[in-house]
Each structure stands twice: as C-alpha cells, then as structure tokens.
Amino acid sequence: MNALQLDEAIILNALREVIDPEIGCNIVDLGLIYNVRTAGTKARVTMTLTTPGCPMSESIAHGVQMALLNLEGVEDAEVELVWDPPWHPDMMTEEGRHRVGMTPR
Amino acid sequence: MSGVNSQPAATRQNAAAHAPATANAPSGMLPLRFILTGVLALAVGMVWVAARPDVLTTYHYNQYVIALTHLFVLGWLCTVVMGAMYQLVPVALETKLHSERMAKWQFVFQVVGFAGMVWMFWIWDMKQVGHFGSALAVGVGLFVYNLARTLLRVPRWNVVATAVASGLFWLSLTILAGLSIATAKCTYESAETLAATSVLGAMIHGLRSLAMFMARFDQLGAMHAHAHLGVVGFFIMVLVGVSYKLVPMFTLSEVQSKARAACSVALLNLGLAGAGATILLRSPWKPLFALVIIAGLAVYGWELTQILRARKRRPLDWALRYFLTALALLVPVSLMGAVLSWPTLPLNATTGQLENVYGFLGLIGVSSFAILGMLYKIIPFQVWFTTYSQHIGRSRVPALADMYSARWQAAGYWLFAAGLLVTSLATFFSHAAGVRLGGLLLTLSVGTFIVNVAKILHHLVRPRITPLSLKPRPGVPTDTSPAAMSGSSSPKAENAFAV
C-alpha cells in the first residue's frame, strides 16, 4: 500500500479494533475520534475520552498509536488527546448507541 | 517514529491540564493484595456466621460478636476499601499516589493488626487487642498520611476530594476511639512501680490516665459511637464520594447538581459530628443528628437518582445492580437508625435484636453488597490493566465484562439478597437455624464471587490475546510476546486486519 491509499476509512477501520474495555465498544463507534489526518507516511489522530478521569486513558491512547503503526504505509503516528469539545453520547454512531443500549436516533 | 511518550506539543499541553489518569495509578498488584486479603476475610466471616449463628441471635456486646465484627470491618471492609482507594483516589482526582512503598508497608501492619485483633477479641485478651490495635493504627496512620499527601496534590478540588478527606478524618477518629476503648478495658498495675519520668513509665501513666478519662463514659455508648464513626464516617462517606465519580463514569452520565452533591457530604459530616458526641454521651439529642445524617443520605439518593435518569448507557450491569441495591438498603437501615436513636426506647430483647439487624444490614447489606458490586469493576480493571494494556491496538483483547461469568455474578446477586433477607429476619426473631441458613446463602454468594475472581485472575496467567498483525515491520513493536502468541484466537479474528 502506498501513502495515497492511506485514507481515513482505512484508519478508522483499524481503530475499530481498539475498544474501551469498560464499555465494550470500539472507540470509533463511541465517537471518541475527532479527526484523522495523514501526510505521507505520517498519521495523526485527534481524539478524546468519555471523561478526563477515565482510568483507561493511557491504555487507549497507546492502543490507538499501536493500531496506526500496525497499518502498512504508516511510519509515524501521533495521538492528540483533547478535551474540547468534551465528549457527548450524541457523538456515538448508531452501532455505538446499540452497543451501550441507547435507543436508535 | 512516535512512541507513546513522544506525543506532539499540543498533546503534552493537554496532558498537563488533564494528565492521563492511568499514569497516576499505582501498580495493579498493590490494590489487588489488599482486595484479595479482604475477600478471604469476607469468606471466613460468612462461614463463621453459618457455623456460629449465636453471634446474631444473642445481644451483640460479647467477645465473639466483637471479634466477628472486627473481622468484617477491619479484615474485609477496611482492607478492601483501603486497597481500592490507593487505586481510585489518584485516578478519580487526577493526581499521583504519594508513596507506593508506604502503601506496601501499610499492608503488612493492616494484616498483622486485624488478624491479631480478631484473635485476641475472640479469647478476650484486651491488652493484646491494644498491642495489635496499635500495629493496625500505625498502618492506618501511614494510609491516612499517604492519602492526605496525595490529596494535597489534587489539581481541582471537588466533592469527591472533600468526601475522601472527610472519610480519612473519621477513620482517624474511629481508630483513636477504638484504641481508647481498649485502653479503658486494661489494668495498669505496673504504673505503681514505674516512674513517670522513664519512657515506659510515661507511656503506662499516660495510658492509665486515658483509661480513667474513658471510664467517665458509658461503655456501650462509646462502642456504638466508635462503630458509627467508622461505618458511616469512613465506609459510607467514601462510597458516597467515589460514587459521584464512578456512577457517572460507568453509566455515561454526569453529576447533575454539584451543589446537591456538596450538600449531601456536608450534611453527613455535620450529622456525624453530632451523632458521635450524642451517642457517646447517650444524649437525648441523638435523634436530631440521626435525622441530619438521614437527610444527607436522602440528598445523596436524590442526586444519584438524577444521575441515573440522565444516563446514556441504559442497561444497568450486574455490578451496578449490586451497588444500587446496597444503596436502596440505606432506606430500611436509616429507618432503624432513627428508631434506635430514640432516647426513651426501652432496652429489651426486641430492641437488642433490632440493633443486631441494624448492624448486620449496615455492614453486610449496605457496605459489603456495595463493595462487592464495585469490586466487579475494580478487579477486572486491575487485571486488564496489568495483562492487556500493552497489547491494545496490536491484538484483540477482551472487554472487562468478558473476563468473568455474568451468570455467576447474577447468581451471586440473588444468593446475597436472599441471604440478607433470611439472616435479617432470623436475627430479629433470634432464630438460630434461620441465621445458619442465611449465613449459608451468603457463603454461597461469596463463593460465586470467588469463582469469578478466579476467572479474572486466570487472565494474569493465560491472557486471551489474538494478534491482529504479525507482519514484522521496522520499529513497530509487533505483538509477538508469548502471551500474544499463545493466546486463543477465533476464526473471525484470524487475518481480521489485513489491509
């Protein structure tokens, strides 16, 4: 795979393998990923967590970095953890809502 | 190549404002040693109730009941809560534990202290109770100092920090009260021969003076004040405080009114200060302060209900059901507390048995049921963090709920609830066979918990890890650890990540 093929869909697909172990749902469907950018072989993900005191924060951020580096074409991965805007359940996908038992939109 | 620690400047700035909480947590094995010791004490205590139902069918002012109570309070509740606090306080308040080494030493003092105290209460050797109690007090001193230093570093003081600080204060007072009560039950003949100017003599004379001071108070009143300061002041206070952090976290909700949350903690503190004094002095003002505590609990219940109503994660898992059922038991326990605080209540056999039910439901119904629920969150997290946190993103790892059996957990819930009901009724009616049956149900419930704990701990030795990619790439730490290579893999997981 070359750098051009390293698009957002592929990265999001990879990040679906990273779960929030407490909620049991992947971080993409939870709506934790705010932004994905690629430049050449570099991937940069801006993300948040459900709460600043989340005890899994370091593990999840580490997991995102590992998932990015596991992708062919990615040589450099950066994870930016932000708290603004704060995460809200409305950011979840339909799949995420289903997994946490919320009613469909 | 970026590593986990080589994040961009923006990340570092954000991390400074909200440091990754896990980075603050002590090693997973520290809380686990406290928790597993506590669970062992709980199991022994439940077997004890089933084997010796007379501990609940007779009035509680005797050596065996006091021994069992201290097994539950110090061996189970205190040990587990302390272990959990070493984990939760830094995480919930986004700071670092002051000293992990100090916590390890405290564990030694705690185990030696409570085990010796229970044994010495059983054979009623109060002098040795004092000695083992002193060892325990050294440990509690280390715990309080360690947590207090941790709290001093909290970046944003909030209601959780206030509740934890309050709990530490009431715990310290409880230990001082307990040691004073034990001091008053000892004799100090050597004070006649030892000069007060020597170190040993000064200590003995000081203890004799304390014993003479304590003799002014009613023994039963002092014991009841000691018990209330410990159970309400430490266990309930800490449960209330940390639940303002944990319940919103587990249910995807948030505190609905910070003022209401602060009010609940303030009322509990006010009520405890008054209740401690009025119970000790057997004052007719006892009901007033009992009502202040109940008001604090009612405000807490109000806020918790609002948090749950606003939750986005609709299903309540079994861990939360344990916890919330325990909190619901605060209603009958509070009612009993209000009745028992009434100054003109006759002290007869019925009142005595009601006091037993009150104490039993307070310790086992409210505190233990709630803590068992929270342990279904804390233990999987500890083990998950130890086993899987380095594999996430490189391998497929289980969620916390996949680490134990929900069926065993549900069975444990119903057994515990049935055990509480049967034991409470049998205690009230002084029915020994009923208490034995209730004790057996509770023992079985604890058995289901131990089975699940074993399942969780099994992940430490046989992790369930499915590598997502085994392609060797320069600089990328591909998950080829023995744990990952030997992990079970489902057909679906094979090559699930071929891009």
The minimum CA-CA distance between B320 and chain A, rounded to whole Å, is 13
Say which of A19, A55, A63 has its CB closest to residue B399: A19
ipTM strictly over 0.95? no
The minimum CA-CA distance between B42 and chain A, rounded to whole Å, is 26
Say which of A59, A68, A70 has its CB closest to residue B22: A59
Whether A97 is in a domain gets the answer: no
Supply the pLDDT for residue B496: 28
Whether A31 is in a domain gets the answer: yes
Interface probe, candidates A4, A66, A81, A99, chain B, greatest B C-beta count within 10 A: A66
Supply the pLDDT for residue B22: 52
DSSP assignments along B284-333, one per residue: TTHHHHHHHHHHHHHHHHHHHHHHHHT-SS-SPPHHHHHHHHHHHTHHHH
Q: In angstroms, how far is the first alpha carbon of chain B from the final one?
A: 20
Report how many domains make up chain A. Answer: 1
Whether A79 is in a domain gets the answer: yes
Supply the pLDDT for residue B393: 87
Supply the pLDDT for residue B36: 95
Whether A10 is in a domain gets the answer: yes
Phi/psi of residue A34, nearest 5 degrees? -90, -35
Query: Quick one: CA torsion of B350, B356, B357, B361, rounded to 10 degrees?
Result: 160
**Would an 8 Å CB–CB cutoff place A40 in contact with chain B?**
no
Supply the pLDDT for residue B12: 35
Phi/psi of residue B217, nearest 5 degrees? -100, 155
**Would an 8 Å CB–CB cutoff place A35 in contact with chain B?**
no
Residue A58's nearest CA partner among B257, B381, B232, B420 is B381
Interface probe, candidates A58, A79, A99, chain B, greatest B C-beta count within 10 A: A58
CATH number of the domain within which A30 lies: 3.30.300.130
Question: Do the beta carbons of residue B106 and residue B146 sit within 8 Å?
Answer: yes
Supply the pLDDT for residue B281: 92
DSSP assignments along B86-102, one per residue: HHHHHHHHT---S-HHH
| Inter-chain touch A22–B381, beta carbons under 8 Å | yes
Say which of A19, A57, A75 has its CB closest to residue B1: A75
Supply the pLDDT for residue B24: 63
Supply the pLDDT for residue B119: 96
Whether A30 is in a domain gets the answer: yes
| Inter-chain touch B314–A67, beta carbons under 8 Å | no
Whether A70 is in a domain gets the answer: yes
Average pLDDT along chain B: 87
pTM of the model: 0.86
Whether A58 is in a domain gets the answer: yes
Whether A103 is in a domain gets the answer: no
Residues of chain A with pLDDT under 70: 1-6, 105
Query: pLDDT tens track of chain B, all 499 residues?
Result: 444 333 333 333 333 333 344 556 677 788 999 999 999 999 999 999 999 999 999 887 789 999 999 999 999 999 999 999 998 898 888 888 999 999 999 999 999 999 999 999 999 998 899 899 999 999 999 999 999 999 998 888 999 999 999 999 999 999 999 999 888 887 777 777 777 788 888 888 888 888 888 888 888 899 999 999 999 999 999 999 999 999 998 898 889 999 999 999 999 999 999 999 999 998 999 999 999 999 999 999 999 999 999 988 888 999 999 999 999 999 999 999 999 999 888 888 999 999 999 999 999 999 999 999 999 999 999 899 889 988 888 889 999 999 999 999 999 999 999 999 999 999 999 999 999 999 999 999 999 999 999 999 999 999 998 887 644 444 445 554 544 444 433 333 332 222 2
Host domain of residue A22: 3-87
